[in-house]
Structure 1
Amino acid sequence: MVRHPDAPLTGGRAGLRRLARWWLAPLPAPPAALRRGPLRPGAFPSPLRSARLTSQLGIALGVAFAVCFLTGLLSHLIQHPPGWFSWPARPVWLYRLTQGVHVATGLASVPLLGVKLWSVYPRLFTWPPARSLAHAAERGSVAVLVAAALFQVVGGVLNISRWYAPMPFFFTTGHYWVGWLAAGALLVHIGVQLPVVTGALGRPAAPPPTVPPGPGPAGLSRRGLLTATAAAAGLITVTTLGQTVRPLSGLAVIAPRRPGVGPQRVPVNKTAAGAGVRAAALDPSYRLLVDGPGGHLSLDLAALNALPQYTAHLPIACVEGWSAAATWTGVRLRDLVTLVGADPGRTTVLVESLQAAGRYRASTVAPQLTADPLTLIALRLGGEPLHVDHGYPARLIAPNRPGVLQTKWIGRLTVGGPR
């Protein structure tokens, strides 16, 4: 049966129509007396702001946030791998690259986000503040996006500076979940603003309104503003890369770590004293315990040094974005696994530190890393015995692995069964 087009709506469709009318209905105008200060007309006279400028900044910021989100998600999966995820051992520099890009792009977002927020700042004081419930919801979603973006950028800067006092939560967890919130809010914002962006970019740029000359210097043009923003982002990127690229280390004036600076010319994050492990690490009675399905080993330093020694040139790549390549020497993990009757290619290994507590006092080595000949229980760095802050008497060093998982001050290896 076909409904006549003039017949009234009934049932569910009528309810949906009424809901849509209610959702889009204009709200009562607020009293005009409230329109003061930044709410008054002409409160923001800068001729530089335009839909085109905001769109260009938004595209650049959206690309930066997308790169940050994807590389950050990858780092989270590597540190907390679900059952379906596998991270390769080679190339040895891959994590160094992805995490370096994550941090460098996040820092480059600082000027982009600042200028983007400046370009849309007057919209906070749109009159009336909400034209309808739908308009109010749209503005609320933008508020969520701005809050999430500021949380991610400010928190990321505090993290790479290792200043955790202003954050009363575990940074990694907060950064991960707010990252998803920011990504979702960004997708919604793109969907809403896409017609505006395409319209603004599809027509020629309008010249800024003529401003009567004043006694001061000539004003900045929109192109000049974009150039200055790009230059600031580029400068931050170059100085950040100095945490990894030795030729640029002299430019790393705002970086908390530099290659070649630290014990044995390699930076450290956590010292033995800071981890509360110095006395246990320097104890002459130290033993490395190795438990496996075919036996148990208790090895002192003399016994470890008597085993075949191998050397690998591998980077330490930390989640804060700095990295440094170094030459490590020690016993291959797969040789120790073989000694206790397990197959390295089918075995995970739980590596435990002498630390009594801490989120990263233990880590699990996947089979592809257990079997890799470059995965070492390192005893020396640069040909010298490990400095205590680098994990003396023994530490894990494996290819393509975050620094927080390169366990220091190893006390026990527990060799598991096939995975």
Structure 2
Amino acid sequence: MKSPFPARLSDASFSGRLHDARTATVIGRLLGAAVAVCFVTGLISHVWQHPPAFLANALPSRPAWGYRVSQGLHVACGIAAVPLLLAKLWTVYPRLFARPVVRSARHALERLSVAVLVASALFELLSGLLNTAQWYPWPFSFVPVHYAVGWLLVGAMVLHLAVKAPEIAAHWRRRSAGTLSLPDEDATDRRSLLRALGAAVGAVTVTTVGQSFTPLGRLDLLAPRHPGHGPQGLPVNRTAARAGVDAQAVRDWRLRIEGPRPYELTLRELRALPQHEVTLPIACVEGWSKAARWTGVRVRDLLDRAGAPPGARIRITSLERHGAYRVSEMAHTYARDPLTLLALRLNGEVLSFDHGFPARVIAPNRPGVLQTKWVGRLEVL
């Protein structure tokens, strides 16, 4: 049987419109901007969750909304990049069938950079989307792999830009020339494509960004989280049942503070200490966030009573039985910030089990996974 496909494919074999360098350049710079924002904000998120040794005691606690904005941008730009990437691939896919496969060393570098760029971009966007839904159908740990492939994506993009710099410069501001360029009368088609692409980016953004930008919460139709849904008006990622914390686990609960002058407090004694109220957001790596009113004891007051030196970090240990963030550390910039509380109440109510009863940490400019719930011990390092 004769194959329905021609033995050799060339640019002329593709009759679809808009497969030209000018269109690819316009979409490419939009996609490049989205990837750049994702990379920078992803780097911020990773450093805040897993600070290197030289930053472990120096991360800033202000602005209080910093992590909320950074991670919200990370997820929003990642979602917006999905239609941009699909449009970019559609525009350039005829080039994937160009023959010969490799024409020179420079062309080989170009093909290699494209292969790595496409594969890493698809992986980052797909794994990031599944992370927002907390679905992990793979055997590896999401955070380190997503972080490593992010560097691979940026490296491949830089290599690709370096190899294609002459073509990009040639089509940055003027119409394309070549076998797949559009005649002047067809420029309207490109504008229509870009308008449709802009509408698609706007639609996926408006219907998901409300999980972090609460004024658009009513339009939060496609995001896996709604900032107003959850116990006490706040979403929960990890429930008490999942963490293995129940009434029996906190029946004889006492807070242990380890330091030069160690001591313990019962819940009644903790409630008898001066209480402070702050309004701070919970900002999770999945992209959702919401501000709430928290009431409790300032962590710095607890540390002063234990004789902690001003520059000391602290280690926070949860009652939960297992989990990657069961134990976290806090820089002195957070521990000494007057907004950092060992919270006992949320929005005027006693903490529910799912929100960390009997006590949890709440601090400004800090990832949600490090706002430790079910706190059992504070240790001065």
User: 1:262-306, CA deviations, whole angstroms, 9 ceiling, x for partnerless residues?
Assistant: 00000111101111222455x321111111112x22222111111
Give me the whole-angstrom Cα distance separating, in 2, the residues matched to 1:280 and 1:378.
21
Give me the whole-angstrom Cα distance separating, in 2, the residues matched to 1:186 and 1:306.
57
Aligned to 2:111, what secondary structure does the other structure show?
helix
Aligned to 2:251, what secondary structure does the other structure show?
coil
User: How far is the alpha carbon of 1:57 from its aligned partner?
Assistant: 0.8
Q: Any stretches of 5+ residues in structure 2 without a counterpart?
A: none
User: 1:194-241, CA deviations, whole angstroms, 9 ceiling, x for partnerless residues?
Assistant: 110111234336773699xxxxxx998111111111111122222222
Q: Give the residue type in structure 2 aligned to 1:159.
A: N
Give me the whole-angstrom Cα distance separating, in 2, the residues matched to 1:137 and 1:342.
56
Give me the whole-angstrom Cα distance separating, in 2, the residues matched to 1:311 and 1:53.
54
User: How far is the alpha carbon of 1:49 from its aligned partner?
Assistant: 1.4
2:232 to 264, 269, 274: 264
Does the 8 Å contact 2:20/2:176 carry over to 1? no
1:290 alignment partner in structure 2: 257
Matches within 5 A, 1:5-404: 36-37=5-6, 39-41=8-10, 42-85=12-55, 86-165=58-137, 167-204=138-175, 208=182, 221-281=189-249, 283-294=250-261, 296-343=262-309, 345-404=310-369
Structure 1 pair 400/280, CA: closer, same or farther in 2 (3 Å)? farther
Give me the whole-angstrom Cα distance separating, in 2, the residues matched to 1:108 and 1:290.
45
Aligned to 2:153, what secondary structure does the other structure show?
helix
User: How far is the alpha carbon of 1:39 from its aligned partner?
Assistant: 4.5
Does the 8 Å contact 2:113/2:157 carry over to 1? no
Does the 8 Å contact 1:100/1:321 carry over to 2? yes
Aligned to 1:377, what secondary structure does the other structure show?
strand
Q: Any stretches of 5+ residues in structure 1 without a counterpart?
A: 1-32, 212-217
Aligned to 2:364, what secondary structure does the other structure show?
coil
Structure 1 pair 301/125, CA: closer, same or farther in 2 (3 Å)? same
Give me the whole-angstrom Cα distance separating, in 2, the residues matched to 1:303 and 1:390.
21
Q: Give the residue type in structure 2 aligned to 1:407.
A: T
Give me the whole-angstrom Cα distance separating, in 2, the residues matched to 1:61 and 1:246.
26
Does the 8 Å contact 2:280/2:292 carry over to 1? yes
Structure 1 pair 115/340, CA: closer, same or farther in 2 (3 Å)? same
Structure 1 pair 137/195, CA: closer, same or farther in 2 (3 Å)? closer
Give the structure-2-normalised TM-score.
Answer: 0.93
Structure 1 pair 112/268, CA: closer, same or farther in 2 (3 Å)? same
Does the 8 Å contact 2:67/2:366 carry over to 1? yes
132-141 vs 270-279, which moves further: 132-141
Greater relative CO, 1 or 2 (CA 8 Å, sep 6+): 2
User: How far is the alpha carbon of 1:79 from its aligned partner?
Assistant: 1.0
Q: Give the residue type in structure 1 aligned to 2:252.
A: S
Give me the whole-angstrom Cα distance separating, in 2, the residues matched to 1:194 and 1:312.
51
User: How far is the alpha carbon of 1:317 from its aligned partner?
Assistant: 0.5
Give me the whole-angstrom Cα distance separating, in 2, the residues matched to 1:71 and 1:38.
46
Give me the whole-angstrom Cα distance separating, in 2, the residues matched to 1:127 and 1:186.
23
71-80 vs 37-46, which moves further: 37-46
Structure 1 pair 210/193, CA: closer, same or farther in 2 (3 Å)? closer
Give me the whole-angstrom Cα distance separating, in 2, the residues matched to 1:187 and 1:156.
21
Q: Give the residue type in structure 2 aligned to 1:60.
A: L
User: 1:4-61, CA deviations, whole angstroms, 9 ceiling, x for partnerless residues?
Assistant: xxxxxxxxxxxxxxxxxxxxxxxxxxxxx99945853444211221100001111111
Give me the whole-angstrom Cα distance separating, in 1, the residues matched to 2:8 and 2:195.
30
Structure 1 pair 210/73, CA: closer, same or farther in 2 (3 Å)? closer
Does the 8 Å contact 1:280/1:286 carry over to 2? no
Structure 1 pair 159/140, CA: closer, same or farther in 2 (3 Å)? same
Give the structure-1-normalised TM-score.
Answer: 0.85
Aligned to 1:278, what secondary structure does the other structure show?
coil
User: 1:103-122, CA deviations, whole angstroms, 9 ceiling, x for partnerless residues?
Assistant: 10111000000000111111
User: How far is the alpha carbon of 1:187 from its aligned partner?
Assistant: 0.4
User: How far is the alpha carbon of 1:93 from its aligned partner?
Assistant: 0.5
Tell me which structure has the larger Cα radius of gyration.
Answer: 1
Does the 8 Å contact 1:47/1:209 carry over to 2? no
Give me the whole-angstrom Cα distance separating, in 2, the residues matched to 1:388 and 1:202.
58
Give me the whole-angstrom Cα distance separating, in 1, the residues matched to 2:184 and 2:291.
56
User: 1:60-116, CA deviations, whole angstroms, 9 ceiling, x for partnerless residues?
Assistant: 111111111011001111111113333211111011111111110111000000000
